Chain A
Amino acid sequence: MTAVSARDRILSRLREARGADPSAHDSERALVEARIREHPVGPRPTMAWTDAVERFRAECVRAASTVDTVATRAEVPLAVARYLVAKQLPTQAVAWPELGDLDWAAADIEIDFRAAQGDDPVGITGAHLAIAETGTLMFLSTPRTHPVTSLLPETHVAVVPASRVVRTMEDAFERTRVEVGALPRATNFVSGPSRTADIEGVLQIGAHGPFRVHVIVVDDRAPPASA
């Protein structure tokens, strides 16, 4: 039984290796805390685009997602139905509870508001935010926003209000700090359907996650003031 743990041995080895001054430990801690408090943003590429929603849509397509745009939330069920029927996909779905207020029956979609299981064909989710730079959806786990619903079904449909599209991942983190605070159990960034190139480097869509990611943008931004 040794009093000194592996942890302490590793940490003291590191301190020794970098020639740390034992009396500086507190000031070094303060330095680290200050860095975290300030969390400065590094260099970002010059983004020669101004309309984040436009960019988001284009990057989604580049990441092999498909995109549709509707004017109001109420139109979402019909848009989902349109997509599923056009792709000849099943119209049974599971969805996040937050989508429960919409009229799914009118769109002939059989829907359950629960976490997806292994054999559910379609999962419908909202999104915490979306990132324009890379066409990325951001999900935070909560008891009502189940991560499995964007993962297990072969088809994933995500409903994203245009007002939730930010420019970069840095913006997404900062907005999350302000709106939510600490990160939840799972923070997932999803950019297009699952893929692999592990057999002879040939790209395959749909390795373990969804084969299809369909993004429905709800354009809830205020219409441009007319001249």
Chain B
Amino acid sequence: MTTTAFAGGDAKRARLAPKATFKERVHDKLHDAKVQRAMRNFNLAGARARAIGELDNLEDIRTASAAIRDRALAHLDVWLERFEREALARGTHVHWAETHDDINRIVVDIARKAGVRKIIKSKSMVSEESHLNVALEGAGMQVVETDLGEYIIQLKGETPSHIIAPAIHLNRDDVADVFHEHHGTERKTDPTALTMEARKFLREHFLSADMGITGANFLIAETGSTIIVTNEGNGRMTTTLPRVHVAITGIEKVIPTLEDVACVLRVLTRSATGQSISNYVSINTGPKGDGDADGPVENHVVIVDAGRSALLGTDMQEALRCIRCGACMNHCPVYQNIGGHAYGWVYPGPIGSVLTPNYIGLENAVDLPHAATLCNQCGVVCPVRIPLPDLLRKLREKQTDRGLRPWQERVGLRAWAWFAQRPGLYALATRVAARIGRRMGGSNGLIHALPGNGGWTVERDLPAPQGRTFRELRAAGAKRAS
């Protein structure tokens, strides 16, 4: 099987990007009792089911939400210009990043100019793409993640395994150990006590940081605002307390109006955590005004391309509708078994299997389009109706077109094509194969080990062919009918 190598050269990224192949990672995770226990406990799908039932016109709202996202994508540059104009008018600095390196350069630059020493961060998946923390630390600044899950994995030196529940792969003992080690406090395992300990330590950071970095769920074109949706309150702290605020988000996140925000929110939070609304929905527009007692003096937005524009106007465009609710992974039988880290890059689950090959190169993620059963659970729950199985299938086709599939598969398919074009030979070959298969099945008619594809029969048996081939039966039937 081909190695899943990852694009990008820097040492840290190489360290973070797992060297093992997708298959090896999956094998590890399937045999990792802790991950398996964590995945069994994980039930955001149940929470969604309860909450989504409150909307008697769910399908209308999904359709409208998809249309809102499509409207933004249809004239993406025009909406972005409109956002920029409003943001500038409100005193926000607008930056544009073409690449991941650009993001890091821009943010380090802002921090340097403002004489920043300590930075607090609210969850930003785009900053995970660019390994922004490494760049900031390299520039001599202290970076503290403040989402509880992100804080835990930052202390452990890990990456998120879910886009909204980043530490879902860990248990309370892991948290107890890492807090005991880093806080120098007595070891405790009660989740409430652990949460209170994090609150105490992070409160100090909130009050002493110079700069706050957040993502943005949307850029609102109407008002030039960024919006973040959180439950813990760390997002509000991060945008309110430090003297500099930087929001980082993708070009696709622009949304036309406040009414559009209200519409999409109804399905975003229900799909994500099963809440009718998140505890905190915060719209930030510009820096603090004259006489304001709180708020940042400097407000920045970094609008990121980094591979996104390549999807626009292609058969992959629908993936740009994504509002990062996480429902597709919560409902994915593959994700539920292997967890997020096996996917190897920032975005796991079905949407990750679509975005990763598009953002870092199809040749760098050959296994991901196949990390799905195409059961369409993801397509059914996606609040903005992204046809995820179709997109995965298209990626598989592209891989085949570009000769990126393993040689065994390519040779096998070519051989099949050769036979299929020669009906006489094909009939003979299937007849022979059926006879051999029947013999292999033995007395109980089950094949326990398939030659050349042993993986298939590890957990199950293949029913052996019984008697004649379909073509033989059909021919016999036709004779009888005449």
Contact = CB atoms under 8 A, between A and B. Distances in A.
B149 interface: yes
Contacts of A168: 262
Contact of A198 (B102, B147, B221, B293): B147
B411 interface: no
A201 B239 contact: no
Contacts of A105: none
Interface in B187-223: 191-192, 194-196, 198-199, 202-203, 206-207, 221-223
B279 A185 contact: no
Contacts of B281: 136, 188-189, 191
B259 A115 contact: no
A63 B402 CA distance: 52
A35 B71 contact: yes
Interface in B256-301: 256-263, 265-266, 273, 276-295
Contacts of A170: 259, 262-263
A222 interface: no
Q: Which bucket holds chain B's interface residue count?
A: 35 or more
A183 B293 contact: no
B102 to A, nearest CB: 6
Nearest to B280: A190
Interface in A135-180: 136, 141-143, 146-148, 151, 168-170, 173
B251 A201 contact: no
A204 B190 CA distance: 11
Nearest to B81: A11
Interface string B20-56: 0000000000000000001001111000000000111
B118 interface: no
Interface in A182-199: 182-199
Contacts of A5: 96
Interface string B59-87: 01100110010010011111111101000
12 contacts: A14-B251, A32-B78, A36-B257, A42-B68, A42-B263, A141-B292, A146-B294, A169-B261, A189-B282, A199-B148, A199-B194, A209-B232
Interface of A: 5-7, 9-15, 17-20, 25, 28-29, 31-33, 35-36, 39-46, 59, 63, 114-115, 118, 133-134, 136, 141-143, 146-148, 151, 168-170, 173, 182-202, 204, 206-210
Q: Which 5 A-B pairs have the closest CB atoms?
A: A209-B233, A143-B291, A42-B263, A198-B149, A207-B232
